[in-house]
DNA sequence: CGAGTAATTCAATGTCGTTGAATTGAAATC
DNA sequence: GATTTCAATTCAACGACATTGAATTACTCG
């Protein structure tokens, strides 16, 4: 980096500029989010003209996609928390979830990925497919039984609620609860989802499928 | 509207321009989302100069907040479902939630509003404050008791999960479940949140505060 | 009537992402 | 080895954006 000496044209040797831009972009996007980061600031930090980024990646969205494609580590966390006693699965998963999101190293990745995915339909579809395949299906497989997928869905819905309320929205009091408080107040609901609805609680006219 | 005749200065009569701008802004924001809508387009549609909007509302965020304040308040839906038998509160609230989001008239509006709010930190803060004040505090007040706010938080978290999984992400199987299925599989967890953790379920080393 | 204030437009500013042209180096072709 | 071709790079400009300051007109209160 630190070229930008005003000299036009191609640089000497084989250029690694593209990779440098990508690395700067990835760090900045994960640190400050998509909107807040400007192409010009990335270009300046990478010692490069702004136009070069458009030349390489076509657009700001293209750069964002390329930067995220580098290290996309989706919900692998859940798989590691899955094996073990089903009774303590809510606690294990909640701890894994909080640990992943509050890890200083990779925590911001998830937030930025989600925020970006919600604004772009294509990214949203991609994320949805990953979550269904890697999370819901695995949980359903772990649970077993007739309505395993529905129970897994209810389970995942509550986890999504934690992510949404605590990390995306920072809603109080969820945002500042300790992990133990989270477990104490949310684990019962998660357990209820795992067990599924009781048969004698069916609403009138409903048939168990 | 339809002034913009080039004549400077105040208009004749008592001006209702502010309300018109607000109405246009609300419709456009709900239709296309925060990012996509430009102040200039709102100004043009309202027959007004762009600068007038900044004069009235300070900034684009201010306009969004003002438009949001008079829009169909999502928290108001919960308030209407709140009074009644506590045992059936989860069912009432789930029906109200689904009804509000799947109402053809105002259905996608809430979604766009949320997506817009999540992309900008200031807008997210605005939404957060509304939800805390209008939703969590009301539920806590309804519940009563020592840890009412924590239980309300757990309750709201699960509702946030429904919104996130079913409407924002369209995650299967939650997205295509019927209302009755949603109730059957999620109401137990919501009831558990309302009741709070059982005392004999405290993790080792934990003390009830 | 006169002073103050509210509403309104105009013009300017600075930032943003993107585009086209010019320049330079490297690789391919003859 | 010279020439053509292509990739990388900067520069300059464009149009759109939100915001701000100044000018202009109308209303309100004494």
B11: left (phi over 0), alpha (psi -120 to 50) or beta: beta
Q: What is the widest separation between alpha-carbon atoms in chain B?
A: 75
Interatomic CA distance for residues B78 and B96, integer angstroms: 7
CB distance B160–A156 less than 8 Å? no
Å from B111 (CA) to D13 (C1')? Answer: 39
What would the mean pLDDT of B136-163 be, rounded to a whole number?
A: 89
- Check residue B1 and give its pLDDT: 45
- Check residue B55 and give its pLDDT: 97
Nearest in space to B28 (alpha carbons), one of B2, B58, B67: B67
Residue B62's pLDDT band, with cuts at 50, 70 and 90, is very high
Average pLDDT, chain B: 84
B155: left (phi over 0), alpha (psi -120 to 50) or beta: alpha
Model pTM score: 0.71
Q: Which residue has the tokens 């108001």?
A: B76
- Check residue A167 and give its pLDDT: 87
Read off the tokens for A139: 């949980």
Instruction: Enumerate the nucleotides of strand C whose atoms come under 7 Å of any protein CB.
Output: 6-11, 15-27
Find the Cα–Cα–Cα–Cα dihedral A191, A195, A200, A204, rounded to 10°: 90
Which residue did the predictor score with more confidence, B206 or B119? Answer: B119
- Run of H or E residues at A124: helix A121-131
Q: In B190-208, which positions are buried (b, 16+ CB within 10 angstroms) versus exposed (e)?
A: bbbbbebbeeeeeeeeeee
Residue of B116, B123, B154, B194 to mutate, interface with A, max A Cβ within 10 Å: B154
Å from A96 (CA) to D26 (C1')? Answer: 65
What would the mean pLDDT of B90-94 be, rounded to a whole number?
A: 92
- pLDDT one-digit tens code per residue, B1-58: 445 567 888 989 888 999 999 999 999 988 888 888 999 999 999 999 999 999 999 9
Interatomic CA distance for residues B105 and B71, integer angstroms: 13
Q: Which chain B residues are closer than 8 Å to A206 by Cβ?
A: 180, 184
From chain A residues 24-43, the ones with a CB under 8 A of any chain B CB are 33-35
Find the Cα–Cα–Cα–Cα dihedral A27, A28, A30, A36, rounded to 10°: 180
Flag whether pLDDT at B162 surpasses 90. Answer: yes
Nearest chain B Cα distance for residue A97, angstroms: 14
CA A49 to chain centre: 31
Which residue did the predictor score with more confidence, A188 or B80? Answer: A188
Read off the tokens for A154: 């209810």
- Check residue B206 and give its pLDDT: 56
Å from A25 (CA) to D6 (C1')? Answer: 27
From chain B residues 36-75, the ones with a CB under 8 A of any chain A CB are none
pLDDT tens digits in sequence order for chain A, 209 residues long: 445 566 887 888 787 999 999 999 999 988 888 888 999 999 999 999 999 999 999 999 899 888 877 755 555 677 788 888 888 999 999 998 888 888 776 656 677 767 766 766 666 776 787 778 878 888 888 888 889 999 999 999 999 899 889 988 889 899 999 999 999 999 999 999 888 887 655 555 555 44
Flag whether pLDDT at B202 surpasses 60. Answer: no
CB distance A128–B171 less than 8 Å? yes
B79 CB within 8 Å of a chain A CB = no
CB distance B131–A169 less than 8 Å? yes
Å from B51 (CA) to C2 (C1')? Answer: 29
CA closest to C1' of D7 belongs to: A10
- Check residue B103 and give its pLDDT: 78
């Amino acid at each position: 980096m630190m070229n930008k000496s005003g000299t036009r044209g191609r640089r000497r040797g084989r250029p690694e500029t593209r990779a440098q831009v990508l690395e700067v972009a990835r760090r900045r996007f994960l640190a400050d989010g998509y909107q807040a980061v400007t192409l010009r600031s990335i270009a300046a930090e990478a010692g490069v003209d702004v136009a070069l980024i458009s030349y390489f990646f076509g657009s700001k969205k293209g750069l964002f996609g390329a930067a995220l494609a580098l290290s996309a580590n989706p919900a692998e966390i859940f798989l590691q928390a899955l094996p073990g006693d089903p009774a303590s699965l809510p606690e294990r998963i909640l701890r894994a979830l909080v640990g992943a999101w509050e890890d200083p190293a990779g925590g911001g990745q998830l937030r930025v990925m989600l925020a970006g995915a919600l604004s772009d339909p294509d990214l949203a579809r991609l994320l949805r497919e990953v979550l269904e395949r890697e999370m819901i299906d695995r949980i359903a497989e772990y649970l077993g039984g007739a309505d395993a997928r529905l129970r897994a869905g209810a389970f995942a819905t509550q986890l999504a609620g934690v992510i949404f309320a605590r990390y995306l929205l920072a809603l109080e009091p969820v945002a500042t609860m300790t992990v133990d408080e989270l477990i104490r107040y949310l684990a019962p609901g998660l357990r209820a989802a795992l067990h599924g609805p009781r048969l004698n609680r069916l609403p009138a006219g409903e048939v168990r499928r």
